[in-house]
Structure 1
């Protein structure tokens, strides 16, 4: 629709911590329903962008908006899935997943019903009463995904959510994410250091320069067909072309970051 506000927009955003400038004047926007992967060397501000959109930190300059509204406090339009498990260890899988609807005003019976449905959707039927320490790493990630998606919020922020998983479990979780995302039509900002993962999942890859004073270096459309199989996407015609294009621009930033860390 013409004139419709972007789901997420950053305009001239800088982020400083005292004399340290993490991000310097970044501008980009994300249409509703788009899956965007954020890539770049360690310390380039990718996670900071997620925190800005979530309203966990405020910009030092510029403006962050979601659906045209400035983000000035914790953004209730966002679900956030972190790299580390954010499950409450004293709650069962069922209660962890039900927590979001409960906090948003759903009755406890209603929240538990929804949570049971979501645990089934992520392949954890029969695990409702297990506590986080009784679950494998992949199972905890499934609980975390259900926890993030159950509220059906319009924006999903994901900070390297699958990086700690083995290759097989990671591929299964990536495929599960794509299936659930396509059902919900959420807008996704997905941070990853894995360029293959970024291209296999996303509609678009946004590349950051090495920090400090990170800026945008590239913005690449991933024009691979959907629905998409994560494993098979790597063999799809055009995948290698996109990979080579992004890697050619990313390589120098990785080297620059490495050299700064050695200095």
Structure 2
């Protein structure tokens, strides 16, 4: 994908390499207060405040964050991600404006290992995800190495771009109210029907990723669409279940089969029209 030299998004927070250490005291505020009390009341009277101040000081403890320097490759990938995220901002601002809808720009958090979100804690094992509670996309880039080594996807930077576009697709659903309606419907449905709704939601996010790709054809290289389809193939429910548990259970699907994911991405790419992505109608 062509990206070098283009605008990078200001809405990407890079937490890679950060890890939590032990507890540290946040500042010396309590010591300053003790000195002030000694000056005002004198030594004996000030002593009565010390137990209270010690409890206050304990409450000011915070977790120390340790930072591991990023490699040159890590820095380059981060710049690529920021550029792709900027492409999504430009595309969806334009597309939604054409439909008289204002685009709220989401944020992206790059992390290593684990992360806290408005939707709860998560680890890299969760894979990339979007949290509607804080309107942020969360991504541990180690996922893409696993995508190749464990699930057989092709390499290439557009696999990363496809996943980013898919997660931003969930943000589009949040703006349009689709995800909220699905969540409400799922509460009154059986597990099997709730799963079908989840599949339709995920396939629509794939469709929006395809629409985004169509809108950014000028940046695509000849192999980019194949890289996206290879990633979609690798993350289909049937492909994952086959590799991880040796059998496929369609009733438990939540994201769609490999063929469904590829179909909806390509439908978005060929039409470039957000009105053509009613995956829910075709799931009935």
Higher strand share: 1
Normalising to structure 2: TM-score of the pair?
0.27
Normalising to structure 1: TM-score of the pair?
0.28
Higher helix share: 2
